Amino acid sequence: MKDRLFIIAAGAVTGLLAVLLVLQGNPANMGFCIACFLRDITGGLGLHRAGAVQYLRPEIMGLVLGAFITALIGKEFKAGGGSSPVLRFILGILMMAGALTFLGCPLRMILRLAGGDWNALAALPGYIAGIWVGTIFLKKGYTLGRSQSQPPLNGYAVPFLTLFLLVLLLTAPAFIFFSTEGPGSMAAPVAFSLGAGLLVGILAQRSRLCTMGAIRDLILFKDFHLFWGIAAIFVVALAGNLITGKFVPGFTDQPVAHTDGLWNFLGMAVVGLAAVLAGGCPLRQLILSGEGNSDALFTVLGLITGAAFMHNFGLAASPAGVTPAGRWSVIIALILLIIIGAGNLAAKTLYSRKEAKTAAPANN
Amino acid sequence: MSETVDCRGLACPEPVLLAREALQRAGAGTVTVLVSSGVARDNVSRAARQMGWSVAVENTAEGYVLTLSK
């Protein structure tokens, strides 16, 4: 019961901060969007040159640092990895392909729904469908293998990289790109964004909040625990938007959104399936990275690489819609995800689950 | 003989899936589950309690030893 109240509180605070971040200057329905913010950071570093979406979003630094600090205090910080990093990197790239087709990560999908953007109504069943397919692979024994303990510096490197990004943001050297127009130019003050990120990072680390896990556990175990968290995000963000007049229901002219329902569905299906195969939604991957999990860091690096690919290759969707090449990227991503899932089941030799049934010698 | 399931190094939901399989196989008695993260400890404990098993957690240098009994 205490656990349930805590995850509801974590979700509620996340939903509230998302509304406040928009009031403070973030793009509408984008108080938090892990995919969008990582994409903006990718652009800020010059790894893509889409001028409208370049900014070193402090929310991301806050999330990672918050997770790091609270994991350290809670004695849960542990440098580990080695569970299929290359596949996780690829899953990150594919996850971003889906997210930049829908224009948002699952967290933003919830926030878009809470803002009255009915285009997210097409994306939600897609996300659930993608997760459902993923659970079939899980039930058949899909696994990325065991992780192992690593030298602690592997874990500490992540907060240091994050601090480096923060220094780049605060010193704003000429080689860092900051959008002067478009979503990348719309941002809450740095201190507010960083603080909001820190708070959500702390709460998400403690509560294990995950938008994919919420639906996956419902399908697999009929376990509502994580679901209460995302339900709280939605309810509080909806209430906040209604109170502040930010609830604008409809399909057309929604902020940073397009009306192509099919591709909203398929884009989010890609995100859902990729998130199951990688073991967490973009938010959860960031939090795990902060806890010292270098496997999750590889997924985050994949997300960043995916953002660069999507924008550099002209694949990312925009409010004008999904480009023909972008549609292909979603189809290819779906095919690759099925190959990764099915191929994993077919080739369970080295990491056979059978080893788990009897106590295996410690590998860490 | 009590069964031991080694879920160390596995990411969720795999420890829960494996533990549930083992609990269903055993039906009653004692099942030991080894996990290496706090997340897996919490998730396996919650799943076991939901299935009516009692949970005892021991924190060792190698990770957590969960003794599930019914």
Domain count within chain A = 1
CB atoms within 10 A of CB A6: 16
What is the number of domains present in chain B? 1
| B8: chain A residues, CB-CB within 8 Å | 146, 362-364
Instruction: Please indicate if any CB of chain B lies within 8 Å of the CB of A202.
Output: no
Element (H, E) at B43: helix B38-50
pLDDT digits (tens, 9 = 90+) for A162-197: 999 999 999 999 999 999 999 999 999 999 999 999
Asked if A284 reaches chain B (Cβ–Cβ under 8 Å), the answer is: no
Report d(CA A50, CA A314) in Å as an integer: 10
Across A110-122, average pLDDT? 98
Give the pLDDT confidence score for residue B59 in this predicted structure. Answer: 92
Q: Does the predicted TM-score (pTM) go above 0.90? A: yes
Which CATH number covers residue B27?
A: 3.30.110.40
The answer to the question of residue A270 being in a domain is yes
- Chain B residues with CB under 8 Å of A146 CB are 8-10
Closest CA to A104 of A340, A263, A246: A263
Using alpha carbons only, give the angle A364, A202, A199 rounded to the nearest 5 degrees: 160
Instruction: Return the percentage of chain A with pLDDT > 70, whole number.
Output: 96
- Distance between A123 CA and the closest CA of chain B, angstroms: 24
In chain A, what percentage of residues exceed pLDDT 90?
A: 94
pLDDT exceeds cutoff 80 at A14:
yes
3-state SS, residue A69: helix
- Interchain CB contact of B18 with A (< 8 Å): yes
- Cβ distance B12 to A74 less than 8 Å, yes or no, reads no
- Alpha-carbon gap, residue A284 to A208, rounded angstroms: 7
Question: What pairs with residue B5 in β-bridges?
Answer: B33
Assess whether pLDDT exceeds 50 at residue A69: yes
Domain with B33 in it: 2-69
Mean pLDDT of chain A: 95
Strand-pair partners of B63 = B60
Please list every residue in chain A whose beta carbon sits closer than 8 Å to the beta carbon of residue B42: 3, 208
Range of the domain at A14: 2-354
**B54 Cβ contact list (under 8 Å, min separation 6):** B48, B68, B69, B70
Residue A359 lies in a domain: no
Lookup: tokens for A141: 């024994």
Mutation target among B25, B35, B39 for the A interface, most CBs of A within 10 A? B39
Per-residue model confidence (pLDDT) at position A354: 53
The most distant pair of C-alpha atoms in chain A lies apart, rounded to whole Å, by 59
Q: Using CA of residue A78, residue A79, residue A84, residue A89, what is the dihedral sign?
A: positive
Residue A49 burial (CB < 10 Å; 0-12/13-18/19+)?
A: exposed
- The 10s digit of each residue's pLDDT in B1-43 is 578 999 999 998 999 999 999 999 999 999 999 999 999 999 9
For residue range A234-262, list pLDDT tens digits in order. 999 999 999 999 999 999 999 999 999 99
- d(CA A62, CA A159) in angstroms, rounded, equals 10
What pLDDT score does A363 carry? 46
- A46: in domain: yes
* Alpha-helix residue ranges (DSSP H) falling in chain A: 2-23, 34-44, 58-73, 85-102, 106-114, 120-139, 153-171, 190-207, 211-221, 225-243, 261-278, 282-290, 294-312, 324-346, 354-357
Here the tokens at position A243 are 């109170």
Rounded to a whole number of angstroms, the distance from the CA of B6 to the nearest CA of chain A is 5
pLDDT single digits (tens) A94-114: 999 999 999 999 999 999 999
Query: What pLDDT does residue B2 have?
Result: 77
Residue A3: the pLDDT is: 87
Q: Reading across the β-sheet that carries B63-69, which strands appear in turn?
A: B3-6, B30-35, B63-69, B54-60
Query: What are A285-307's pLDDT values in tens digits?
Result: 999 999 999 999 999 999 999 99
Of A83, A148, A363, the CB nearest to B11: A83
User: Over the stretch B47-59, which tens digit does the pLDDT of each residue have?
Assistant: 999 999 999 999 9
Residues in chain B: 70
pLDDT at position A211 = 97
Contacts of A221 in chain B (CB under 8 A): 13, 16, 20, 47, 50
Residue A256 lies in a domain: yes
A contacts of B3 (beta carbons < 8 Å) = 357
Q: What confidence score (pLDDT) does residue B1 get? A: 56
The pLDDT score that the predictor gives to residue A351 is: 52
- The answer to whether residue A360 is domain-embedded is no
What whole-number distance in Å separates Cα of residue A152 and Cα of residue A257? 42
Residue A361 maps to a domain: no
Q: Is pLDDT larger for residue A362 or for residue A221?
A: A221
* Residue-level pLDDT at A353: 52
- Start-to-end CA distance of chain A, whole Å, equals 34
Closest CA to A286 of A101, A97, A158: A158
Distance CA A121, CA A109 (A): 9
